[in-house]
Amino acid sequence: MTVSLSQAHILVDDPDAALPFYRDALGLDVAADVANAGYRWLSLIAPGHPEVLVVLEQPEAGRSEENGQALAALLAKGELGPVHFRTDDLEATLDAIRATPGATVVQEPVDQFWGVRDAAVRDPAGNLLRIEQAR
Amino acid sequence: MMDGMGVDLEELRRLRRARDRMDREFATPLDVAELARGAFMSPAHFSRRFREAYSETPHAYLMTRRIERAKALLRDGAGVTEACHAVGCTSLGSFSASFTALVGETPSRYRARRRGEVRGLSCCEVLRVTRPRRRNASSFGEALRAVAV
């Protein structure tokens, strides 16, 4: 039996602000862009990794108003995440992130003794992402 | 801007940015007044809202972050005064008091006892051994979120 990750959902408050980050800075390709009932779902895949879909969706979509607002508050506070991405060029990835409106680098690159060099960033919605490169 | 149920998401975002700033700039002479200015709030309002959002005051968060780092420096053999200044504290007395309150022993005793202790441990063991014991540690960094003791 083999089980592997096929989809990961990331909550974003504003799909228009998230798209430049995930598509242009991280370099993911948009596989689907679906609007329904006033909300929008963006599905992205990393080049060469079509087996894993990254789905961006809004906290309120498909939930009760109360739970949607609770998640939106956690997102705004920065309490969601972390999600880890790997890159083969950390500096170039961080340069692209720094050039993206609303995104911030919260930890500059450091060599971790478990074998990666990594940095921590916030996407424009407030999710904590760690970007790591093997070394 | 208020969004339904009285949750001010824009204010929460400013609190998040202030917390990120502490994680990033804790080693500079950052204080609550400066953080409140950056968040466009009065210091009292900022401290109250931060505590409601994260269950600890911004001062406690900043000091926890500094002491996490100071512990790492002391384990690596830094002197107490050196570690104090390296983490953005200007007063050795208040640094030592905060350190002792959080860690349970003075910085010099911690240094003498723990120096080199984590060498050879795996990363999860280091995180377990070194995380501070306040109820909430910082959002990332030298230690994972602490559990209540």
For residues A44 and A56, give the distance between their C-alpha atoms in angstroms, rounded to a whole number. Answer: 8
What spatial distance separates the first Cα and last Cα of chain B, rounded to whole Å? 38
For residues A118 and A112, give the distance between their C-alpha atoms in angstroms, rounded to a whole number. Answer: 7
Please give the DSSP secondary-structure letter assigned to residue A23.
Answer: I
Closest CA to B22 of B11, B40, B34: B34
For chain B, what is the mean pLDDT?
84
Mind listing the pLDDT tens digit for each residue in A60-86?
999 999 999 999 999 999 999 899 999
Q: What is the ipTM of this complex?
A: 0.91
B13 contacts A76? CB cut-off 8 A:
yes
B53 contacts A77? CB cut-off 8 A:
yes
pLDDT of residue B134: 60
B74-81 long-range contacts, CB within 8 A, separation 24+: B74/B107, B74/B110, B74/B111, B74/B114, B74/B115, B75/B111, B75/B114, B75/B115, B75/B116, B75/B117, B75/B118, B75/B130, B77/B111, B77/B115, B77/B116, B78/B111, B79/B111, B80/B107, B80/B108, B80/B111
Is pLDDT above 80 for B79?
yes
pLDDT of residue B7: 83
- Kindly list the strands in the beta sheet with A116-122, ordered across the sheet, starting from the edge strand earlier in the chain: A83-86, A128-134, A116-122, A104-112
**Is residue A55 within 8 Å of residue A19, measured between CB atoms?**
no
**Is residue A120 within 8 Å of residue A128, measured between CB atoms?**
yes
A114 contacts B5? CB cut-off 8 A:
no
For B16, the 3-state DSSP assignment is helix
Angle between helices B58-75 and B43-54 (to 10 degrees): 70
Is pLDDT above 50 for B149?
no
pTM: 0.83
Structure tokens at B98: 């905060």
CA distances from B47 to B30, B35, B58, B93, B108 (A): 14, 10, 6, 24, 31
A83 touches chain B (CB under 8 A): no
Radius of gyration of chain B (CA): 16
Is pLDDT above 70 for A46?
yes
Structure tokens at A127: 């999710």
Distance from CA of B97 to the nearest CA of A (A): 28
Note which residues in 45-64 of chain A have CB less than 8 A from chain B: none
Residue that the structure tokens 């609007």 belong to:
A35
Q: How large a percentage of chain B has pLDDT more than 70? A: 73
Mind listing the pLDDT tens digit for each residue in B116-136?
666 555 555 666 656 665 654
B9 contacts A76? CB cut-off 8 A:
yes
CA angle, corner A90, sides to A89 and A94, nearest 5? 120
Strand partners of residue A56: A10, A42
pLDDT of residue A81: 86
Structure tokens at B109: 């005793």
